[in-house]
């Protein structure tokens, strides 16, 4: 007689099964920085990657670290899915962020500057200036800088000034007395934001080559004594403060969202201090003085070896005309269905059309709205705008449509982080042209990417739609990898119309035919599809999930994927940035692979695919698997029903899964290992191959 053993189910909420969100985000920045060390990447693009990693880190402190600091004050015992308290998170972030910053300056000083110098692109230090260069820079300082610089001597009449977020500043030590007999021993100099952070020297025989640069900070260091006549400058040191740049709008206490956002926006540059960067040569006494003024401890101090505003070196890329050191330009292709037919509505009426940017042109999206604006039988246009960019041709087309008497409605998300001011200006511009502008639903960001055109065709009214995974922004469409779908499917068009009705009017949730929509059906719908794969696996049927997103944070989704792995479902995740799921845990996630693609284009498309017992389903979306996307935003997830188009997306996903040049595999400890080409494997770069295939 055998005795049965009861096996306790594994608790999938165990903190050990979750990677901290913010440490994962720092790991993403490490992968971006690794591109700056990749010798297969053109040299000036490597400099760009360094600057991007620094810009990302700025935003990380402005938003994520700032929120954790607030949480440490409000609820210090709070823990997330990973079991860490806010203070524990801040300790770990401090360690990892310092390592990243040290690596950034090491890459700049020991790798990129020497390699750029080999290509005659030089950053000339003060100690290396020739007599002619010194003379030219003296004139530059006197004529271009001194008139607009305003040093502030610190005393009772001149308190420590308000320091603008992420601005370049100098703390200056002085001896002697001024004309009034004053000297506190210190002054502060703020460099105006309009000044270039790198100054290009004229190219001639005496001054140097066509690509010789001097840091603005070096020029100010060299001539700062000119600002303090009759006094002696003992020391001059750069510093920069990063502030809390997220803002809070009380949804329950506002009457006008536009006014509330405008009010908060004015204070963004002066939020609470979260990080202090200081020149590593700065004496400890002066460092302590700055820490005291900003009421910060050393945990938030970063001593750096180079310019404190490192991301501004990105200006060099535009100043240097060296195509051989940049990515090769390419012309995005246009799908044959659109290239053959100038009438975009006729082409869509024949069959659905899929665009994959930036490999395929974004121009058809602009043309879709332009033709809608010009066509006499188009009655109405409805569109969401999250980020549109300055001088957007789409906005111009919407204005033209409104002035032509068409019904034009635009849902603008005012709280698109760091684009709030641009969106406020955009709203005013559209309203001046009699466009109906609404700001979505208070308490929920409108993140969905939708455009609907209502067209009269004989006695019938037909809805034409464009749905996308990325913003209606012509510039980012050249840099971000996204999908867009054109369709005139009746049910899909009706779904989009109903979502717009929700956003612009009042009423109960209406049932949608094909779209999954947050905050109502998207989360539940995706979990049900994962559960269906689990049931197929338990029944002995093939089961597979492929998901491509920017971030995986939401706990219920992670637990569902763990259950899928336990049931034998093959789970392939392509997660560009944050991933809180731990793969390769015995009896939990052995069937889950997580990879990140970091390449020339920012992988931005969100794709959800389910094998479904051979009846493959492919969905594209504006939403990541994050709590905010599932529950606090208006998002849409749309099916790719054409077998031809869904197979094309599946083909792209397989290329990403085979990529051995730009892929990184997530390890169970939260670190990433770069994929390398095996001995007998062909070299696969997914982005390059997709580009080649679409241009063939």
Distance CA 368, CA 378 (A): 12
Neighbour-count burial of 276, counting CB atoms closer than 10 A to its CB (0-12 exposed, 13-18 middle, 19+ buried)? buried
Cα separation, 451 vs 429, in Å, equals: 19
Q: What CA–CA distance (Å, rounded) separates 596 from 320? A: 31
Q: Is the dihedral of CA 270, 276, 281, 287 positive or negative?
A: positive
SS (H, E, C) 359-390: CECCHHHHHHHHHHHHCCCEEEEEEEECCCCC
Report how far residue 348's alpha carbon sits from residue 329's, in angstroms, rounded to the nearest whole number.
30
Spatial distance between the Cα atoms of 464 and 245, rounded to a whole number of angstroms? 39
Query: Cis before residue 358, ω within 30 degrees of 0?
Result: yes
Contacts of 287 (CB under 8 A, 6+ apart): 278, 301, 303
Q: Are 365 and 476 in contact (CB under 8 A)?
A: no
Both tokens assigned to 507: 């009423």
Q: How far is CA 236 from CA 148, 174, 225, 233, in A?
A: 18, 9, 9, 7
Distance separating alpha carbons of residues 532 and 527, to the nearest angstrom: 9
Q: What is the C-alpha to C-alpha distance for residues 291 and 297, in angstroms, rounded to an integer?
A: 6
For residue 650, the tally of other CB atoms under 10 A from its CB is 16
Spatial distance between the Cα atoms of 651 and 24, rounded to a whole number of angstroms: 28
In angstroms, the CA 411 to CA 434 distance is: 14
Longest CA pairwise span in the chain (Å): 103
Token code pair at residue 523: 């989360």
First to last CA, the chain: 69
Nearest-10 crossing angle of helices 363-374, 393-403: 10
Nearest by Cα to 582 from 671, 664, 674, 668: 668
Would you tell me how many other CB atoms lie within 10 Å of the CB of residue 384?
26
What is the chain's alpha carbon radius of gyration, rounded to the nearest angstrom?
Answer: 28
What separation in angstroms does the CA of 324 have from each of 41, 45, 111? Answer: 11, 11, 19
Q: Of 447, 480, 451, 454, give the one whose Cα is nearest residue 466.
A: 451
- Which helix (H) or strand (E) covers residue 409, if one does? strand 407-412
Cross-strand bridge partners of residue 236: 172
As a residue count, the chain comes to: 696
CA 637 to chain centre: 20
Question: Which residues are known catalytic residues?
Answer: 447
| DSSP codes of every residue in 96-127 | HHHHHHHHHHHIIIIIIHHHHHHTT-EE--GG
Please enumerate in sequence order all residues whose Cβ is within 8 A of that of 654, keeping only pairs 6 or more positions apart, or say none: none
Residue 674, classified by CB atoms within 10 Å of its CB into exposed (0-12), middle (13-18) or buried (19+), is: middle
């Amino acid at each position: 007689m055998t005795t049965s053993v009861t096996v306790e189910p594994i608790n999938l909420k165990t903190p050990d099964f979750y990677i901290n969100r913010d440490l994962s985000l720092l790991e993403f920045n490490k992968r971006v920085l690794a591109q700056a060390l990749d010798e297969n990447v053109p040299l000036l693009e490597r400099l760009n990657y360094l600057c991007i990693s620094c810009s990302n880190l700025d935003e990380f402190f402005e938003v994520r670290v700032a929120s954790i600091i607030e949480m440490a004050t409000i609820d210090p015992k709070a823990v997330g899915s990973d079991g860490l308290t806010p203070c524990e998170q801040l300790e770990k972030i401090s360690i990892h962020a310092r390592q990243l910053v040290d690596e950034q300056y090491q890459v700049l000083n020991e790798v990129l500057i020497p390699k750029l110098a080999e290509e005659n692109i030089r950053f000339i230090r003060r100690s290396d200036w020739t007599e002619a260069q010194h003379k030219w820079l003296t004139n530059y300082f006197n004529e271009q800088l001194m008139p607009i610089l305003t040093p502030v001597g610190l005393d009772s009449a001149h308190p420590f000034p308000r320091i603008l977020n992420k601005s370049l500043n100098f703390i200056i030590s002085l001896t002697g007395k001024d004309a009034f007999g004053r000297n506190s021993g210190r002054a502060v100099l703020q460099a105006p934001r309009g000044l270039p952070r790198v100054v290009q020297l004229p190219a001639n025989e005496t001054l140097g080559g066509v690509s010789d640069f001097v840091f603005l900070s070096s020029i100010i260091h060299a001539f700062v004594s000119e600002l303090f006549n009759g006094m002696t400058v003992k020391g001059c040191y750069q510093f920069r403060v990063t502030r809390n740049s997220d803002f809070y709008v009380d949804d329950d206490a506002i009457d006008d969202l536009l006014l509330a956002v405008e009010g908060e926006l004015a204070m963004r540059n002066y939020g609470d201090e979260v990080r202090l960067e200081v020149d590593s040569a700065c004496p400890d006494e002066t460092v302590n003085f700055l820490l005291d003024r900003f009421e910060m401890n050393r945990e938030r101090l970063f001593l750096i070896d180079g310019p404190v505003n490192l991301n501004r070196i990105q200006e060099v890329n535009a100043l240097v005309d060296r195509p051989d050191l940049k990515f090769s330009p390419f012309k995005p292709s246009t799908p044959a269905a659109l290239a053959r037919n100038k009438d975009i509505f006729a082409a869509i009426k024949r069959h659905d059309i899929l665009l994959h940017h930036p490999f395929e042109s974004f121009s058809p999206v602009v043309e879709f709205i332009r033709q809608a604006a010009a066509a006499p039988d188009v009655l109405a246009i409805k569109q969401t705008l999250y980020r549109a960019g300055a001088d957007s041709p789409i906005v111009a087309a919407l204005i033209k449509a409104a002035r032509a008497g068409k019904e034009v409605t635009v849902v603008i998300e005012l709280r698109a982080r760091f684009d709030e001011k641009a969106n406020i200006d955009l709203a005013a511009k559209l309203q001046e042209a009699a466009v109906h502008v609404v700001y979505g639903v208070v308490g929920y960001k409108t993140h969905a990417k939708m455009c609907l055109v209502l067209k009269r065709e004989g006695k019938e009214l037909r809805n034409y739609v464009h749905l996308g995974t990325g913003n209606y922004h012509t510039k980012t469409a050249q840099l971000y990898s996204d999908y867009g779908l054109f369709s005139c499917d009746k049910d899909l068009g009706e779904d989009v119309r109903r979502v717009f009705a929700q956003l612009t009017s009042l009423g109960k949730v209406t049932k949608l035919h094909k779209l999954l929509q947050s905050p109502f059906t998207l989360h539940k719908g995706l979990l049900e599809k994962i559960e269906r794969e689990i049931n197929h696996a338990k029944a002995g049927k093939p089961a597979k999930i492929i998901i491509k997103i920017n971030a995986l944070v939401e706990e219920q989704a992670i637990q569902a994927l763990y259950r899928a792995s336990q049931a034998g479902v093959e789970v392939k995740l392509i997660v560009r940035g944050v991933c809180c799921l731990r793969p390769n845990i015995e009896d939990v996630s052995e069937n889950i692979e997580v990879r990140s693609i970091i390449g020339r284009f920012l992988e931005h498309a969100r794709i959800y695919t389910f094998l479904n017992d051979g009846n493959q389903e492919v969905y594209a979306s504006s939403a990541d698997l994050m709590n905010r996307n599932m529950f606090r935003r208006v998002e849409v997830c749309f099916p790719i029903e054409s077998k031809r188009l869904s197979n094309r997306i599946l083909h792209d996903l397989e290329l990403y899964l085979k990529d051995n040049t730009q892929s990184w595999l997530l390890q169970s400890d939260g670190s990433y290992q770069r994929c390398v080409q095996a001995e007998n494997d062909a070299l696969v770069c997914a982005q390059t191959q997709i580009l080649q295939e679409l241009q063939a």
